[in-house]
Chains A and B, each alone.
Chain A
Amino acid sequence: MRELELYFGPQHLGMVGNFSITLNVEGDRIVKATANPGFLHRGFEKLMEQRTWIQNFPLVCRINVVEPDHMELIYAMAVEKLAGIEVPERAQFIRSIYLELARVGSHLFGLWAYANMLGFDTVANWAMYHRDLVLDLFEEITGGRVYHIYIWPGGVRRDFPKGFKDKIINTLHTIGSCVPDYDDTFFNNRIFYKRSKDIGKITHEEAKRMGAVGQVLRATGMKQDIRKIEPYAAYDQVDWEIPVRTGGDAYSRIWVVRDEMIESVRMILKLLDKMPEGEVYNKIPNPFKWNIPDNEAYVRCESSRGELGLYLVSNGENKPYRAHFRTPSYNHGLTILEKALENESIADVGNIMISLYITAPEIDR
């Protein structure tokens, strides 16, 4: 059969995000896939070298639209490490709760994308609605719906408003009460099973070789989570489980996402119970006179897509000398995707891509 070259994205109905894949197809079988990023390259890392430490905060969260919060956290953690700033205990709890909310919101967004892709519009709209409820919570704490700019070096920008605990619990109960509906209509749906089982399969060995992290890795049976390995914020203060599946295919990955969401909700409730009173912010130096001595730091956290790292270098000035984000989608989108798409059908490109949880802004930065 004749081999054709097919451009998939950035403008394609089956594509989520500004990303493009060049497919070599024979019939509707993919022979070779080449990821083609760069449509969202905004040079954030270069831009960060020209802004002061504090001015970078409104910037870093914009690197990834879907979940700005982990970007804030990773930058704050790196700056704290370089400048030696302590974080009060209550702020650590707030950070954890806030980040888990972000994870729920981000996973709901992922679920929307995935359900939408498979044609489950009902489920997609539920997910979007529930994500909106999470965004309402964010609006309450931070004053912004999408870009929160909430986590700062030294703690968080404002304490929880009065009575906020009950609001979180209410919202989580609303979302939690719909889990059976989600399960029945989507996760245990025969159509979903047929569309995702054994699709985009990668083995455990391949995953490790190609730098998989997060759900992609956990769906191949490995219990790896930075929150457990190197606990930051208040993740070592409560008990929680790492959800794992063994299939390595799209089906397992989406189930890991679902389980993680439920685990996050449980974790938030536990964290809320244990949250201490006290200060939430240690004053950072005057932003106009804030030079951080020569140093470098590599910090990492578990974003909702996997290991997110930041390599930050300071040379004693009032701005970073070099910042480099290690984003989870990078290897998922540029190495694993190419492998996972081989020998699949064109109809499953979007399916696989979203099940790998790829967001283009993270890759391009």
Chain B
Amino acid sequence: MISISALKPFKAVKYLFIKPKTIRYPFELKEPSMRYRGFHLNEWDKCTGCGNCADICPNQAIQMIKIPELESKSGCKNERPQVDYGRCCFCGLCIDICPPGSLKLTRDYFHIHFDPKTFVFIPKDQETEPEKYVSSEKYSVLKASLSHRKRDYDGFVSDLKYALFEPKRVTMPIIAPEKRKLSFIEQVIGYNKEEARKEASRCLECKLCEEACPAHLKISDYIQAIYEDKPEESLKKIYEDNPIPSICGRVCMAYCEDACSLSIRGEALSIRWLKRYAADTIQDFATALELNPGTATGKRVAVIGAGPGGLSVAYFLRLKGHNVQVYDALPGGGGTMRTGPPVYRLPLESIDKDVHYIRSLGVEFIFNTRIGKDVMFEDLLKGNDAVFIATGNTKSRSTKVNNYEKCELALEFLSDNKIGKPRKVGKEIIVIGGGNVALDVAREALRLQNIQHPGENAAVKTVSLEDWDEMPATREEIREGREEKIQFNPAWGPKEVILDNNGNVKGLLCKKVKSVFNGEGRFAPSFYEEKEMFLEGDMIIEAIGQVPDFSFIPDHLLEELEFTERKKVKVDEMGMTSIQKVFAGGDIVNVNLDAVTAIADAKVASEGIDRFLS
């Protein structure tokens, strides 16, 4: 092998006659590879401004910059990343963490400029800045810079399989549809410790959820506490803004999850179930929370309605040291939560757990007492320093079609089943409505059918004006309803209730919906009168909405009460109505009609009342 030679090296002379390998730049260019990590590009519309790229950047090359032209909305901040190429090392961590996958690295890598400030720039895409991206024919390497780049020149891009976040949820154990529809057993079993911690570990701490939440809970903090296995800490964080975690942990509308940055390309973090985990893990709230009512102020506040709004106002005011009395016509706390959401979604024990804790802080609850009947509104007004009305929507609306009086009403139906005597149901039930209440009614009716007519042919059908994609009920509810084999008839409106000879319900005649909303987006349904459909049924339940009941307020005061154009009670920024020292919140004030917005109202009103009293 070793043959030392002095002549052989001259063999290299042959390379004199071989074409050089050197690339004759700039006449000849070397095409970067498909995964090249060059300059950034940010798809402006997809970016949510979550700031994860800035958080992970090891060199702090990325900064989030407020863009005033952009509108900040739920799930999308008006911030966009700014990259400093004096610091960037093109490692691509920002690409792998980007939840929407909007941030990309392109194959461009030339930037020559006399002004060092141009090396700090806000990446945009070719749709937003078409003038900076040119086609490869027009591209000239002599002009190449951050404002002269090639179109469609993606390099290193995000890939969900290799992303640094986990797009999949920890599966929540749920009782199977075939089993759960036979009884009123709570369908969601809840996370255990390992599952909860694993789910909590998915949180990227971008806090888009906190902005989306009406009550602005410190979601990121309480999730972090669950991840660290400190449920007490977590509950303390929750109680700073929300005193009914057991309720909200089950039936919250979870606007936070819609805003969650993980939901864009994967599944949102189970924020609601994690809150439920925190509330359910801790048996004794009082020892865990260590909260005490504030120093007594001697002021008295009456709260009408022990629903989410009333409970929250009572809690916040009690912490400020006021004496609070809560009146409710029902035998227990919870308001609509007590009567509305079926037991399989929200058991009474969970409501009582939250109410008990608020009571233990010294809030006085006066149940089974209807204002306007047992206690007069004017007496309350005289005997207290402030009054908070959170009576909610308690009356069901009716379709008023022919023979409507033969139909059942949703709220009464739900309430009887939950805290009264369960109703006798028919074998073919028609539910009118496409909202969450309608689905509650339908699914409850299904369970009652299975209990009362086991093994027999029975069906629950729903009729809704809205089509699948417009239906106001949550996707989750619709999915679960379909799993339980509820028959949906979307885009049909009720025309007439058909009776048989004995005057019993025989079915519902429906007409096809043309459109639900008018050009301005207002609710104004129009129909094809001639397209009809007949649904057979021996029981019809109307669940098309609820209205408030102000009959407890004497007429002369009701005249003083101002309403908005959407028929909501008008309140100022302190939560006060047009009547002096009367405050209001919850469904009678806001248009969201849910618990967490009621809490948000209550937070505003409790601050207002506190300021008003001091």
Contacts and interface: CB of A to CB of B under 8 A. Distances in A.
**A and B directly contacting (CB within 8 A):** yes
Given A57-B91, A181-B12, A185-B12, A288 B33 contact: no
A144 interface: yes
Contact of B58 (A51, A147, A161, A190): A51
Interface of A: 51, 54-59, 122-123, 129, 136, 139-144, 147, 149, 157-158, 161, 181, 184-186, 188-191, 193, 281, 283-289
B56 A55 contact: yes
Contacts of B15: 122
Contacts of B90: 144
Query: Which 10 interchain pairs have the tightest Cβ spacing?
Result: A58-B91, A143-B35, A55-B58, A143-B37, A190-B6, A184-B8, A143-B156, A139-B33, A185-B9, A140-B33
Nearest to A193: B4
B165 interface: yes
Interface string B211-228: 000000000000010010
Given A58-B59, A136-B33, 14 more contacts: A51-B58, A54-B56, A55-B58, A57-B93, A139-B35, A140-B33, A140-B34, A143-B105, A157-B162, A181-B11, A188-B2, A191-B6, A193-B4, A287-B56
Contacts of B35: 139-143, 158, 161
B21 A129 contact: yes
Given A161-B35, A184-B11, A289-B201, A149 B164 contact: no
Given A139-B32, A141-B35, A286-B202, A158 B162 contact: yes
A219 to B, nearest CB: 15
Nearest to B224: A289
Contacts of B224: 289
A185 B204 contact: no
7 contacts: A157-B96, A184-B12, A185-B11, A281-B161, A286-B202, A288-B56, A288-B205
Given A122-B15, A144-B90, A188 B8 contact: yes
Contact of B89 (A147, A184, A188, A285): A147
B155 interface: yes
A89 to B, nearest CB: 17
A364 to B, nearest CB: 19
Contact of B203 (A140, A191, A284, A289): A289
B159 A158 contact: yes
B33 A287 contact: no
B3 interface: yes
Most chain-B Cβ atoms within 10 A of its Cβ — which of A122, A147, A188?
A: A188
Contact of B5 (A136, A141, A188, A287): A188
Nearest to A141: B35
Interface string B245-273: 00000000000000000000000000000
Interface string B65-91: 000000000000000000000000111
B58 A189 contact: no
Interface in B115-170: 155-156, 159, 161-162, 164-166
B301 interface: no
Contact of A143 (B56, B89, B97, B155): B155
Contact of A188 (B4, B37, B162, B202): B4
Nearest to B2: A188
B431 to A, nearest CB: 42
B56 A139 contact: no
Contact of B93 (A58, A281, A284): A58
Interface string B2-41: 1111101101100100000100000000001111110000
A55 B162 contact: no
A144 B37 contact: yes
A58 B89 contact: yes
B86 to A, nearest CB: 15
B92 interface: yes
A142 B96 CA distance: 13
Contacts of A284: 164
B11 A149 contact: no
Question: Quick one: which of A122, A139, A161, A191 has the most chain B CB within 10 A?
Answer: A139
B354 to A, nearest CB: 29
A6 B97 CA distance: 52
Contacts of A122: 12, 15
B89 A189 contact: no
A54 B11 contact: no
A186 B56 CA distance: 48
B300 to A, nearest CB: 46
B55 interface: yes
Contacts of A142: 35
Nearest to A120: B9
A286 B58 contact: no
Nearest to A136: B33
B213 to A, nearest CB: 20
Task: Please indicate which of the listed interface residues A57, A181, A284 has the most CB atoms of chain B within 10 Å of its own CB.
Answer: A181
A187 to B, nearest CB: 9
A147 B298 CA distance: 69
A283 B166 contact: yes
B2 to A, nearest CB: 7
Nearest to A194: B4
A286 B204 contact: yes
B58 A59 contact: yes
Contacts of B156: 143
Given A122-B12, A143-B37, A149-B91, A190 B32 contact: no
B8 A185 contact: yes
A164 to B, nearest CB: 11
Q: Quick one: which of A51, A143, A161 has the most chain B CB within 10 A?
A: A143
Given A188-B4, A189-B8, A289-B227, A149 B55 contact: no
A58 B292 CA distance: 50
Interface in B359-387: none
Interface string B227-239: 1000000000000
Contacts of A56: 58
A57 B5 CA distance: 47
Interface string B385-424: 0000000000000000000000000000000000000000
Given A143-B36, A158-B159, A286 B166 contact: yes
Residue among A58, A136, A161, A284 having the largest count of chain B Cβ atoms under 10 Å: A58
Contact of A184 (B9, B159, B200): B9
A129 B19 CA distance: 14
Nearest to B197: A289
A225 B241 CA distance: 61
A190 B55 CA distance: 58
Contacts of A147: 89, 91
Contacts of B37: 143-144
Nearest to A197: B4
A147 B58 CA distance: 15
Given A139-B32, A143-B92, A189-B9, A281 B162 contact: yes
Contacts of B165: 286
Contact of B164 (A54, A58, A140): A54
A188 B11 CA distance: 12
A274 B209 CA distance: 48
Given A144-B37, A158-B159, A281-B161, A54 B93 contact: yes
Contacts of A190: 4-6
A355 to B, nearest CB: 17
* B4, B21, B97, B166 interface centre (most CB from chain A within 10 Å): B4
A319 B89 CA distance: 20
A161 B34 contact: yes
A79 B89 CA distance: 22
Contacts of A51: 58
B193 to A, nearest CB: 16
A286 B164 contact: yes
Contacts of B56: 54-55, 287-288
Interface string B163-187: 0111000000000000000000000
Contacts of A59: 58
